[in-house]
Chain A
Amino acid sequence: MTDTAVQRTDARYSWGGDEFLFVEIAEAMSLAANYKANAMAALLTARSLPGVTDICPANASLLIRFNPDILPPDRLEAEVRGVEDEVAHASHQTLDTRIIEVPVWYDDPYTRETGARFRKGHQKPEGTDLDFAAEENGLDSPAEFIRRHHESPWLVSMVGFVAGLPFMFQIVPQKDQLEVPKYLSPRTDTPPLTVGHGGCFACIYSVRGAGGYQMFGIAAAPIFDPAQRLADFRDFMIFFRPGDIVKFRPVEEAEYRDIQAQVDAGTYTYRQAPVVFDLQRALDDPTAYNSDLLERLHGN
């Protein structure tokens, strides 16, 4: 499959024991496959089927948990295939979502220090994760990699692994995707809010812990707030949803500290705006589409 066609091929269905149905939309990652996962999840959620407990869209697949005592497997499968058909035949491939600006301190001392502790066994033991990423993508410098990282927005293609961790896929043609291999052996420590990258995916670590993605910087504001102290978390302790669009904005130390102070004071809110994600426009002309999205973010 190419990244210029809407994903209309049939998905593969398989059972994960007696409580999970797994739908593989495509083997390869693409905006089209991810769109289909999110669109199917949205339609299935709207059906409010008794017996369905979890609907989990992922990068290029969908996982559904159900109670077979309430909803027999064959009936669930028929419903999901119906939803797949509906998505494939929809005249407009759009998703109501929002664009969010995420301030990031790139090449910060926290992830640099952590990276330095795990140099042994790294692909580039004598450099930093950013040096390695720039080199892997044939770029002149880490600064060029950072520019590419925040220049174009990213689609939240999946939330999970641990609570509230967003996986993001950049809205650019496949040839321009930043690709960086994961650590050869996972770290036992990652600072919370680390901006990481593995394969073609960016992520933001929501909690401290193990991790295998290369580390490029640190987000300035929380993305997971179990105490629900900040306004953006009043309805739910987790900030990101699949389908969100993220624009990273580079900040230096002074602004990072300022944002931290606002977080401590409980006054920080993310800049965000509602948008309709249009798959065909994103595929046809990502550059023009991205600048439209950014205009929405800045209220123009």
Chain B
Amino acid sequence: MAINILEPGLATTVQDQGRPGYYNVGIPQGGAMDSLSAEMANALAGNTAAEAVLECTYLGPKFTTDAEAVIAVAGAPVDVKVNGEPRPQWSRLELAAGDEVSFGMLRGGTRYYIAVRGGIDVPVVLGSRSTYTLGAVGGFEGRALKAGDVLPVGTALDIGTGGAERTELEEALRPSFDKEVTVRVLPGLYDHRLTEEGLNTLLSATWTLTPVADRTGLRYSGPDIAWKPRAQPFGAGSDPSNIVDAGYAVGSIQIPGGKEPIVLHRDAVSGGGYAMVATVISTDMDLLARSAPGTKTSFRAVTLEEALAARAEGRKVRSSIWG
């Protein structure tokens, strides 16, 4: 079975749960940016959490399938149409051979996910099917989809032997796509290099997500943040926000020149010369992925213990979708 891409959408890529283990040579973890929505799409399509899905950003694709298929769409709110007729998001959808699937405009958020029963069956590269476009690794020919692409679909698991049985996801379990969001961060790394006032500003101001936001990272506008002046160490570069190039934690926040904090996301550059001052906790990375430009964002400081508690809570939410 295959999916025929008629229109590719703006930046549609194949993603799964990512490619850990190669960050030491600059290959990022990748994977669905809004991992919970992707997992929900898989659950609804009768897959496990591991099957590769299509990540659609702002503008989705138009496609047909060449055989009967089961799909599900989860994530940012969007009108789903099959042969021009509206069909529900957050539900299992049965397609006949040749049915045409298309999407309307987003009504909020940034990304939604299309899962197909059996998963998108592109080759596994370094342990993952995720697309790393900068390195042209993984996914469909290492790139975002184009019109005319034919995506192979894998063999489906039997329902009840690994594939999920759920056909709908009730509203209470769905993530929200708000215009205001509070993101929990753990201060650290090089936060001692900010002035006390600078760190307070980062953790108390309301930040606005700029349009400069993609799988690599998200840039926020807001007040300037002061770095402590100092004589720079050898090899670090001239600005007080510079360090000797170091590895970047995924989710870490850097503030080049004290302006417009950048949060790195799942296709992060693996290192560089800007000091990181806090890191978004793993549980809240999906919140960033759901944010649309203009989203008012607060970074709230938590402790490592609180981050681990949030992680355990997040795991409960995740397991509830498979129940």
Q: Which residues of A contact B308 (CB under 8 A)?
A: 18, 68, 73
What are 29 A-to-B residue pairs whose CB atoms are below 8 Å? A16-B188, A17-B280, A17-B282, A18-B186, A20-B249, A22-B246, A22-B249, A27-B244, A28-B236, A54-B21, A56-B24, A56-B270, A59-B235, A59-B245, A63-B247, A69-B311, A158-B271, A160-B26, A162-B26, A162-B269, A163-B134, A164-B135, A182-B237, A198-B237, A207-B134, A224-B135, A237-B137, A238-B25, A238-B27
A241 located at the interface, meaning its Cβ lies under 8 Å from any Cβ of chain B in the complex? yes
* Contact indicator per residue, chain A 43-74, by CB within 8 Å of chain B (1) or not (0): 00000000001111111111101001100010
Docked complex Cα distance between A177 and B245 (Å): 17
Contact A199 B237 (CB under 8 A): yes
Contact A17 B249 (CB under 8 A): yes
Q: Which residue from chain B places its CB closest to the CB of A34 in the assembled complex?
A: B244
* Contact indicator per residue, chain A 24-52, by CB within 8 Å of chain B (1) or not (0): 10111110000000000100000000000
Contact A160 B24 (CB under 8 A): yes
Contact B235 A29 (CB under 8 A): yes
Docked complex Cα distance between A61 and B273 (Å): 12
Docked complex Cα distance between A15 and B189 (Å): 6
Q: Which residue from chain A places its CB closest to the CB of B249 in the assembled complex?
A: A16
* Contact indicator per residue, chain A 138-177, by CB within 8 Å of chain B (1) or not (0): 0000000000000000000011111111010000001000
Max chain A C-beta neighbours (<10 A), residue from B20, B25, B279: B25
CB distance from B174 to the nearest CB of A (A): 24
Considering only CB atoms and an 8 Å cut-off, how many residues of chain A contact the other chain?
56
Docked complex Cα distance between A199 and B281 (Å): 32
Q: Which residue from chain A places its CB closest to the CB of B137 in the assembled complex?
A: A226
CB distance from A120 to the nearest CB of B (A): 20
Contact A56 B234 (CB under 8 A): no
A242 located at the interface, meaning its Cβ lies under 8 Å from any Cβ of chain B in the complex? yes
Using known A-B contacts A17-B307, A18-B307, determine if residue A29 contacts B24 with beta carbons closer than 8 Å: no
Docked complex Cα distance between A27 and B232 (Å): 9
CB-contact partner of A16 in B24, B137, B270, B276, under 8 A: B276
Add 18 more A-B contacts to A162-B270, A207-B134 (CB < 8 A).
Answer: A15-B186, A15-B279, A15-B304, A17-B281, A17-B282, A18-B186, A19-B249, A22-B188, A22-B247, A26-B233, A54-B20, A56-B270, A59-B246, A60-B235, A61-B246, A65-B250, A163-B132, A238-B26
Q: Which residues of B contact A61 (CB under 8 A)?
A: 244, 246-247
Q: Which residue from chain A places its CB closest to the CB of B312 in the assembled complex?
A: A69
Docked complex Cα distance between A237 and B132 (Å): 14
CB distance from B171 to the nearest CB of A (A): 29
Contact B235 A68 (CB under 8 A): no
CB-contact partner of B251 in A16, A161, A201, A226, under 8 A: A16
A200 located at the interface, meaning its Cβ lies under 8 Å from any Cβ of chain B in the complex? yes
A267 located at the interface, meaning its Cβ lies under 8 Å from any Cβ of chain B in the complex? no
A125 located at the interface, meaning its Cβ lies under 8 Å from any Cβ of chain B in the complex? no
Q: CB within 8 Å of B: which residues of A?
A: 14-20, 22, 24, 26-30, 41, 53-63, 65, 68-69, 73, 158-165, 167, 174, 181-182, 198-201, 206-207, 209, 224, 226, 237-238, 240-242
B198 located at the interface, meaning its Cβ lies under 8 Å from any Cβ of chain A in the complex? no
CB distance from A44 to the nearest CB of B (A): 11
CB distance from A212 to the nearest CB of B (A): 9
Q: Which residue from chain A places its CB closest to the CB of B237 in the assembled complex?
A: A199
Contact A163 B279 (CB under 8 A): no
Contact B246 A165 (CB under 8 A): no
Q: Which residues of B contact A59 (CB under 8 A)?
A: 235, 244-246
Contact A164 B250 (CB under 8 A): no
Contact B304 A199 (CB under 8 A): no
Contact B25 A159 (CB under 8 A): yes
Q: Which residue from chain B places its CB closest to the CB of A239 in the assembled complex?
A: B25
Docked complex Cα distance between A57 and B247 (Å): 8
Q: Which of B224-261 contact A (CB under 8 A)?
A: 233-238, 243-252
Docked complex Cα distance between A167 and B20 (Å): 22
Docked complex Cα distance between A15 and B85 (Å): 50
Q: Which residues of A contact B20 (CB under 8 A)?
A: 53-54, 65
Q: Which residue from chain A places its CB closest to the CB of B306 in the assembled complex?
A: A18
CB-contact partner of A174 in B23, B125, B189, B234, under 8 A: B234
Contact B23 A54 (CB under 8 A): yes
Q: Which residues of B contact A62 (CB under 8 A)?
A: 247
Contact A28 B271 (CB under 8 A): no
Q: Which residue from chain A places its CB closest to the CB of B242 in the assembled complex?
A: A199
Docked complex Cα distance between A22 and B276 (Å): 11
Contact B21 A60 (CB under 8 A): no
Contact B269 A161 (CB under 8 A): yes
Using known A-B contacts A17-B282, A181-B238, A238-B25, determine if residue A167 contacts B245 with beta carbons closer than 8 Å: yes
Using known A-B contacts A24-B246, A63-B249, determine if residue A164 contacts B234 with beta carbons closer than 8 Å: no
Q: Which residues of A contact B248 (CB under 8 A)?
A: 63
